[in-house]
Amino acid sequence: EFLTELQAGRLDSVRIVGDKLEAVEKTSTTPAAKAPGEQRGIVAMRMEDPDLIQRLKTAGIKFGQVPDGSAFRDVMSWILPMLLMLGFWWFVMGRMGRTQGQVLSLGKSKAKVYAEKDVPIRFADVAGVDEAKDELREMVEFLRNPAAAGRLGGRLPKGLLLVGPPGTGKTLLARAVAGEAQVPFFSINGSEFVEMFVGLGAARVRDLFEQARAHAPCIIFVDELDALGRARASSIMANDEKEQTLNQFLAELDGFDPSKGVVLLAATNRPEVLDPALLRSGRFDRQILIDKPDRAGRVEVLKVHLRTVRVAPDCDPGAIAALTPGFSGADLANLVNEAARMATRRGASAVETADFHEAIERMMGGLERRNRIMRPEERRRVAFHEMGHATAALALDPSEAVQKVSIIPRSAGALGFTMRRPLEDRYLLARGELEAKLAVLLGGRASEMIFLHESSTGAADDLDKATDIARAMVTRFGMSELAGQITYDREQAPYLGTRVLPGSHDYSDETARVIDQEILKLVDHAYDKAARTLARHRTFLEEGVRQLLQNETLAEETLKDLWARHSEVESQAKGA
Ligand code: ADP
Ligand code: ZN
């Protein structure tokens, strides 16, 4: 119809709207006009017709193209997804920017950086960790005046690792260093480094060090270093991201020059899981042990926290300390808080001893559940066990001094410890010395048997170590008569192509039996020796246990004095 009308010359004008043609007929030629002036219109679908324009021209009618909705839709159909994608991109980038921004903002936002006057903590606020404070004082000196510290040469400490159970004041101590030195304190948690997005963790490490360098002298404190520095091979699934972050951290550590005045402190309660690369010389090669406070330490911590509380005059920190074995510094801070709250609720004018008793009772349940409080009979057993080690060591193995005996549990595994320190470098050990070491290891078990007449699981670790030594004596050092001077436990010798499969050995079953018997004999022998020794020094051991139960730790000096007095009495008895 459209073409017919067009050819007939009856059309006035044509509008091309999208794929439609809207034609208006000339008024005069409209036969079907019902009324004069009325225009009839034709709407036609536009066909694929390359000659259309030419035809319209020839016909000499007005025509034009009008944009329509469908064209708009067409355009939108590809613009809209693009906008959506862009928006999503913005959103993601915005989020990433914000998370990253937290690290970046370390230097910018006042909330995160403790600028000079912002660290109000001093060494006086950290109680009961005097050895750690002594070590850190050098660092404070250095931060106060970085230029002077290197004057006489010598390597400056680069990284210092604070090791100890949670709540013992590691963070507090690091902040105190910043406070004493009046320098900014940058802190970050090891787990914050580990990010979901690949590369972000490493970027954070870089940012942190950059920020710190810009603010030198200052302190960087990495809490929970183990989250970042877990030994790389230990996880079955290689975690590339973690590894990248750790590598970046190591690279920053190596690249940074402490003489610029940036000091790195880190804290962990699990030093054993740290990647050995972190502990290598020139990195965190200095460690400071921070243990839970002993009784005297708890008195000090309590005094610190009681400063801000109004206490009744009858309230004695010593008495509270005696009731709270196993409490960490944080637990004690909590205890003071709790007692103060109870007194407030009571409407009292000061916190009284009864409030502390009630608060202790309340807290005990929770701490016991978390395995941090030992029952009295357990403490007694641990005291006898550790004094067994100490007594055997003092009597049988003078090559190492007994540095400290403690019955403060360090972790779930170690309920107490006897720390020893070699008095000289040793390169060779004679058989007698190895036997003495075995006897010291078995001293714990022997003491439990002699004084408590029953064994316990507490000796498992000792037995492990003793077995290792005894096995080495038999299979590697040729120290057994029956097994002879033969190596049974050869280091694998790949050059001969004789790789021994794990679990297999190149000797007969009869020989294996002999080896086992010889190992057993060595250990039994050492146990007898330990038992005889302990029985002989019974009075010393019992006095040690008494003091240990009272004070929870025994220092080297105390033990030495006690031992000297005991030896005197003994020699007098002999003379008489
Ligand atoms: P960590 O970092 O070792 O887990 P924190 O330093 O965070 O422990 O200690 C938490 C809180 O416990 C401190 O803010 C402080 O109130 C209290 N606290 C812990 N140890 C001590 C201490 N030795 N002296 C005084 N307060 C302590
Ligand atoms: Zn032991």
Give dist(CA 576, CA 569) in Å, integer. 11
Provide the 8-state DSSP code for 350. Answer: S
Residue pair 300/127 in contact (Cβ under 8 Å)? The answer is yes
Coil, strand or helix at 252: helix
Site of tokens 């670790």:
461
Site of tokens 């940036």:
262
Average pLDDT for the chain: 81
375-391 per-position pLDDT tens digit: 889 899 999 999 999 99
CA of 95 to the centre of ligand 2 (A): 52
Task: Categorize the per-residue pLDDT at 371 as very low, low, confident or very high, splitting at 50, 70 and 90.
Answer: low
User: Identity (one letter) of the amino acid at 437?
Assistant: K
User: Identity (one letter) of the amino acid at 545?
Assistant: V
Q: Which of 111-120, 169-178, 463-472, 513-522 is predicted with the least confidence, judged by mean pLDDT?
A: 111-120
Provide the 8-state DSSP code for 258. Answer: G
User: How far does Cα 277 stand from its chain's mean position?
Assistant: 16
Closest atom of ligand 1 to 129 CA is 23
Burial of 148 from C-beta contacts in 10 A (0-12 / 13-18 / 19+): exposed
CA of 368 to the centre of ligand 2 (A): 23
The pLDDT of residue 539: 94
Q: Residue 301: CB within 6 Å of ligand 1?
A: yes
Task: Categorize the per-residue pLDDT at 104 as very low, low, confident or very high, splitting at 50, 70 and 90.
Answer: very low
The pLDDT of residue 113: 39
Pocket test for ligand 1, best of 133, 172, 173 (most atoms within 8 A of CB): 172
Q: Residue 337: CB within 6 Å of ligand 1?
A: no
Q: Residue 212: CB within 6 Å of ligand 1?
A: no
Q: Does 250 have pLDDT greater than 50? A: yes
- Look at the alpha carbons of 490, 495, 501, 502 in this order and tell me if their dihedral is positive or negative: positive
Ligand whose nearest atom lies closest to the CA of 268? 1
Closest CA to 540 of 514, 560, 566: 566
Half-sphere CA count of 17, side-chain side, radius 13 A = 10
Strand order in 417-422's β-sheet? 417-422, 400-406, 553-555
Provide the 8-state DSSP code for 230. Answer: B
Q: Residue 128: CB within 6 Å of ligand 1?
A: yes
Q: Residue 166: CB within 6 Å of ligand 1?
A: yes
Q: Does 59 have pLDDT greater than 90? A: no
Q: Residue 390: CB within 6 Å of ligand 1?
A: no
Residues facing residue 421 across a β-bridge: 401
Round to the nearest angstrom and report the end-to-end CA distance of the chain. Answer: 144
User: Other CB atoms closer than 10 Å to residue 193's CB: what's the count?
Assistant: 27
CA of 291 to the centre of ligand 1 (A): 12
Q: What are phi and psi of 527, to 5 degrees?
A: -65, -45
Q: Residue 129: CB within 6 Å of ligand 1?
A: yes
Q: Is 131 a catalytic site residue?
A: no
β-pairing, 185-189 vs 286-289, is unpaired
User: Identity (one letter) of the amino acid at 12?
Assistant: D
- Look at the alpha carbons of 387, 388, 392, 393 in this order and tell me if their dihedral is positive or negative: negative
Query: Which position among 386, 400, 435, 448 bears the catalytic label?
Result: 386
Give Cα separations from 17 to 14, 43, 120 (angstroms). 9, 10, 77
Provide the 8-state DSSP code for 292. Answer: P
Residue pair 551/294 in contact (Cβ under 8 Å)? The answer is yes
Q: What is the pTM of this model?
A: 0.62
Give dist(CA 557, CA 405) in Å, integer. 11
Closest CA to 478 of 426, 431, 440: 431
Helix axes 170-181, 130-144, angle to 10 degrees: 30
Residue pair 38/30 in contact (Cβ under 8 Å)? The answer is yes
Helical H segments across 256-375, by residue range:
276-279, 295-306, 317-322, 329-346, 353-369
Q: Residue 167: CB within 6 Å of ligand 1?
A: yes
Residues facing residue 220 across a β-bridge: 186, 264
Give Cα separations from 532 to 147, 469, 474, 529 (angstroms). 59, 21, 24, 5
DSSP, residue by residue, 130-197: HHHHHHHHHHHHHHH-HHHHTTT--PPP-EEEEE--TTSSHHHHHHHHHHHHT--EEEEEHHHH--SS
Furthest C-alpha separation in the chain: 154
β-pairing, 159-163 vs 262-268, is parallel
The pLDDT of residue 370: 64
Coil, strand or helix at 227: helix
Ligand whose nearest atom lies closest to the CA of 121? 1
Q: Which phi-psi region, left, alpha or beta, contains residue 126 (left: φ > 0; alpha: ψ -120 to 50)?
A: beta
Pocket test for ligand 1, best of 168, 185, 265, 328 (most atoms within 8 A of CB): 168
Coil, strand or helix at 497: coil
CA of 567 to the centre of ligand 2 (A): 24
User: Which contacts of 520-524 are long-range, i.e. CB under 8 A and separated by 24 or more positions?
Assistant: 521/480, 522/435, 522/438, 522/470, 522/473, 522/474, 522/480, 523/438, 523/442, 523/466, 523/467, 523/470
Segment holding 102, helix H or strand E: helix 69-104
The mean per-residue pLDDT over the stretch 289-311 comes to 89
Q: Please identify every residue whose CB atom is under 5 Å from ligand 2, which is an ion.
A: 444, 462
205-218 per-position pLDDT tens digit: 787 788 888 887 88
Task: Categorize the per-residue pLDDT at 323 as very low, low, confident or very high, splitting at 50, 70 and 90.
Answer: confident
The pLDDT of residue 501: 53
Task: Categorize the per-residue pLDDT at 262 as very low, low, confident or very high, splitting at 50, 70 and 90.
Answer: confident
The pLDDT of residue 198: 58
29-58 per-position pLDDT tens digit: 555 545 555 667 778 777 777 787 888 888
Task: Categorize the per-residue pLDDT at 543 as very low, low, confident or very high, splitting at 50, 70 and 90.
Answer: very high
Residues facing residue 288 across a β-bridge: 162
Task: Categorize the per-residue pLDDT at 237 as very low, low, confident or very high, splitting at 50, 70 and 90.
Answer: very low
Over its C-alpha atoms, the chain yields an Rg (Å, rounded) of 41
Q: What are phi and psi of 47, to 5 degrees?
A: -95, 165
Query: What are the strands, taking DSSP E only, across 386-461?
Result: 400-406, 417-422
